[in-house]
Structure 1
Amino acid sequence: MALEIIPLGGTGEIGKNLNLLRCNGQALIVDCGVSFPGEDLPGVDLVVPDPEYLLAVREEIQGILLTHGHEDHVGALPYLLPRLGELPLYGTPLTLALIEQKLRERRIPATLHPVKPAVPFQVGKFGVEPIRVTHSIPDCVGYAIRTDEGIVVFTGDFKFDHTPVDGERTDFNHLARLGDEGVLLLLSDCTNAERPGWTPSESTVSDAYYTLFANARGRILITTFASNIHRLQQAIDMAQLYGRKVAVLGRRMEQNVEIAWQKGYLRIEPSTLISAKQLDDYPHERILVLTTGSQGEPLSALSQIAADEYPRLKIAPGDTVILSATPIPGNESLVWRTVNRLIRLGAKVYHDGIAPVHVSGHASQEELKLMISLLKPRYLAPIHGEPRHQAAYFELARQMGYTDDRMFLLENGSVLRIENGKAELGEKVPAGRLLIEEGVEGGVPEAIIRDRRHIAQEGILIALITVRAQTGDLIDDPQFILRGFEWQNEIQPELARAAVQETLGKMTPAEISDWDNIREELTMVLRRFCRKHLSRRPMVVVVVTEV
């Protein structure tokens, strides 16, 4: 059987990364992440890859390899593992510790296998070698997977950071050895393929923090992703340098800080940490608050603070707020709403548009080219990026002498088949999305989301119809409830009632006795009425009551 690479999430898009590798009757999953909904998905909490195809090949799957602990690479595990059944999870200690907490909360059993960079291990027929890479969280790895067809390398999220916060640099020797041995296929992060040059080191954020801490006279609040341990470390280092106590707000960030501290990935003096209840025990100039809410999430601690609804912390003039993250596409309006609210409350707000308080964790053009040079793969397929990023990556590869027959544009559901050294695209497989809403079993159907968008844009009209059981005659005038719009004059509701009465008057006794028929006919009549008289297309719901 040929080697098949099948991205089921995160390719042609940002987020919900999940890739499937199949060869000779066995398969491996690489990463299992979520993405976060934009305003086009009202009410949805998370988006995860649809497991339909995974269920179809479930008996082949030997385990799940995790590259690092960010949500877009591990966040879907609590939602997909119960459907797939227990599968062994492989990852570095911090990655497994972060996911173990999530699984324990939901009482999901899991077998966890810690891995070490450069120490090979076996999963079924596959030989796997974790490769140390640098990103914005400790304990990141890529994977070299040995198959019957050759070596496949997944870079994971990476950049070449020569001065990482934790001192753990990319293992260039390992990459070079693999390149000398011969790599069949490179599946590379391409998120920053449009950016020339090199991505700055994560440690450069400390320089910006140093200046802002030196000039701040009130409390400092820093928000970033809860899993960005390197960023949190730099903030804590500055707090300790300037004699500030550190409070952590937001459940997920509290958990991550505790896990990273206990596992030795965060260095904190015990006397530095205080609880939210202790914030008023210290002068404002001695407080640093680390908080969730970098994406403007409505229920996050920072959003509640910005809305002046957080009971333990009220923004005061002189407070400094640092947004040490960039908005995920689709979240921009939520982020800027939070920023504007904070400014109205008197805070000074800094973001990467006006101060260097954030650097990307992804490789820019020169780093992407260096990865190709080190591994010297026969074939290239960029993942973890949108089509524009993939196109930019191909252009870089062409500059390095790669021809189009050695590069493959993949999207979710694509099947890249390699057999006897020859690669080609096969027939696509199902690769949709599952919309997760707390309290809704099995996900939210797309039809429900369409209804929500329809109601949000056009409103809803509910018609209450009361008829006599024996004859079907109207007992009372139809009543209308409007939400999201209103009648434009007093005549329109009367015209709508007349349209309903006329429709019922034309129906035969047999038609009137069929309630489903009444609802269907009146729904069409009221839709036409709204288009003609109101220039709207509201959702129409007809409620028939028989007495």
Structure 2
Amino acid sequence: MSNTVKIIPFGGVRENGKNMYAVQIHDDIYILDCGLKYPENELLGIDIVIPDFSYLIENKEKIVGVFLTHGHADAIGALPYFLKEINVPVFGSEMTIALAKITVNDDPKLKKFNNFHVVDEKKEIDFGDVSVSFFKTTHTIPETLGVVLSCQEGQVVYTGDFKFDQTATESYATDFGRLAQIGSKKVIALLSDSANAENPERSSNETDIADSMAETIKYHDGRIIVASVASNILRIQQVIDAAIESDRKVVLTGHDLEKIVNTAIKLNKLNIPDDNLIVPLNKLEKLDPEKTIILETGKMGEPIKALQKMASKNKGSLRIQNGDLVVIATNPSHAMETTFAKTKDMLYRAGAEVKSISDRGNATGHASQDDLQLMLNLIKPEFLIPIQGEYRLLAAHRELAKQVGLNDNQIFIASKGDVLEYKDGEMFQGKGIEVGNTMIDGIGVGDIGNIVLRDRKILSEDGVFVAVVTIDRKKKIIIKEPKITSKGFVYVKASRDLIQESAELVKNAVQANLDNKEFDWGHLKQDVRDKLGKFLYDQTKRRPVILPVIMEVNQHHKKTKKVSKKKNENE
């Protein structure tokens, strides 16, 4: 039996979201979180991005289970795709498991999956050579847990998303005593949240955020729209409390949000004293705008695109109206800042006033620089692996760690697929594995690759140019002159000379291939692409996607068929 501990990130490093880490202790693999991320601008048309499970599928007999830290999409969103490939138990707090069930059981193929196990900070699970325990942390969703894997070599500690907030209520409070207890024993490695590592400002406590939310809502006379992540239970509670204080009704905009809210109410994680406080969407028109808060979370809990649709008047009855106040109760990732700014501009153009919780401080669910250093001092790890963030955030975390006594050799900024091995008191980077991204587009899982994305990018920038030609290969003649159509490249009616020259070029290229004794379909199409591509670039300095459509007919086909039929009749 190998006495090494291996840590392999499958996501969550050098990117925002998509947290998933495999820890291999001896011959068993423990999966920490199984999240997704929402696509950035260059992923045209992609709905979500999940980790590449190829290596784990090949080694599925070694996987012990999936251990979840919290119920946000960046920790549980990829579970349905993972469980369809690898049937293993899933562990998490009561709230996390309830949200994981919603995510998993929405998939028709997983309706019968029920291998869920509720744990808490007092639970320790014995897997023979390894025991798994948990500790309470503070995030924007109740019952968030960190994970500790204990073995003969020491402990591997995974914080998940966390921050420290002295005003946090019981369901959100960090157990500092437990952190100190973990740090009193040997900790091999700490995998620690870096999402806020670049921000020198202390995180705002949630009491101040709640007061700010209530004040913002109380002093607006018109309709209010609050945009939040669907699974941010803490923020939803703050909206509900503000609604009660200002005597308003709350309208939930989507079925997914209703399921999450109902689940949280059932588990006593949302306090709604008045049953009439929440109103269904179909009764929105009957409400006085001055007594209404619309809680908008968007598809899959991502509210920014939903706000864009409301601003562009494309979201059914939910359209921005003059005098609306839009409160954006979510912080955009660094990759989404441009989209965030564009969205605010669209909302203003539509007649709304826009406020954001980030306007009054560092409203975040992630650790401040002081928090990260305090976590290091409590846990006292031999090695630090910064996670959850783009490279500059991981690098900022490294600098913070050096300030509290760690050196460069104790800090590993990993990439997806890196294998960090711990053996005989040393950690080093072993032979890595191939780990890419799996892109989800509609019902397609992983069928969109770099080539398709490249074509989509070209289509979005330079359009498509289609040349249709009909030939008779046996007679080596062109039956119909090339027909040229263009979408997103040039306006055909205003570019007649270009179109005519293109048609002539296609005609010559096709005829040249027909006259060639070694005729080849692939060569013909590539020849048309090459000649047309060079010509169009010379004329326009643009490179559209070129689609040659070559149709073949046999002019004698019908006549031959008739002769054959007549011959049969004579027989």
Taking structure 2 as the reference length, the TM-score comes to 0.91
1:116-515, aligned counterparts within 5 Å? Answer: 116-123=120-127, 125-166=129-170, 168-196=172-200, 198-268=202-272, 269-293=274-298, 297-298=304-305, 300=306, 302-352=307-357, 354-355=359-360, 359-486=363-490, 489-507=495-513, 509=515, 511=517, 513-515=519-521
Aligned with 1:69 (options 68, 71, 75): 71
Q: 1:499 to 1:278 in 2, by over 3 A?
A: closer
Q: 1:131 to 1:279 in 2, by over 3 A?
A: same
Query: What do residues 276-310 of structure 1 show as CA deviations (whole Å, max 9, x unaligned)?
Result: 12223332222111111485554x3x343322244
**Alignment coverage as a number of residue pairs:** 543
> How big is the shift at 1:362?
0.7
Task: Please say which of residues 417-426 and 273-282 is displaced more in the overlay.
Answer: 273-282
Is contact 1:63-1:123 (8 Å) kept? no
Q: 1:292 to 1:168 in 2, by over 3 A?
A: closer
> How big is the shift at 1:51?
0.6
Query: What do residues 441-466 of structure 1 show as CA deviations (whole Å, max 9, x unaligned)?
Result: 54422211111111111211111111
Give me the whole-angstrom Cα distance separating, in 2, the residues matched to 1:124 and 1:454. Answer: 54
Give me the whole-angstrom Cα distance separating, in 1, the residues matched to 2:125 and 2:386. Answer: 25
Is contact 1:69-1:95 (8 Å) kept? yes
Query: What do residues 216-246 of structure 1 show as CA deviations (whole Å, max 9, x unaligned)?
Result: 1112211111110001001101111221111
Aligned with 1:523 (options 516, 522, 529): 529
Is contact 1:6-1:21 (8 Å) kept? yes
Specify the SS of the correspondent of 2:15: coil
Taking structure 1 as the reference length, the TM-score comes to 0.95
> How big is the shift at 1:140?
0.3
> How big is the shift at 1:521?
1.6
> How big is the shift at 1:333?
4.2
Percent identical pairs in the alignment equals: 33
Q: CA RMSD, aligned part only?
A: 2.0
Give me the whole-angstrom Cα distance separating, in 2, the residues matched to 1:320 and 1:483. Answer: 39
Is contact 1:295-1:334 (8 Å) kept? no
> How big is the shift at 1:416?
0.9
Specify the SS of the correspondent of 1:181: coil
Give me the whole-angstrom Cα distance separating, in 2, the residues matched to 1:312 and 1:494. Answer: 47
Question: After the TM superposition, which parts of structure 1 deviate over 6 Å for at least 4 consecutive aligned residues?
Answer: none
> How big is the shift at 1:377?
1.3
> How big is the shift at 1:167?
5.4
Aligned with 1:33 (options 17, 32, 35): 35
Q: 1:296 to 1:385 in 2, by over 3 A?
A: same
Give me the whole-angstrom Cα distance separating, in 2, the residues matched to 1:489 and 1:242. Answer: 61
* Structure 2 unpaired stretches of 5+: 554-571
> How big is the shift at 1:197?
5.0
Specify the SS of the correspondent of 2:149: strand
Query: What do residues 479-535 of structure 1 show as CA deviations (whole Å, max 9, x unaligned)?
Result: 111111226743222222222233334346455753333212212111111122222
**Of the two, which has the highest radius of gyration?**
2
Give me the whole-angstrom Cα distance separating, in 1, the residues matched to 2:388 and 2:338. Answer: 24
Give me the whole-angstrom Cα distance separating, in 2, the residues matched to 1:403 and 1:334. Answer: 38
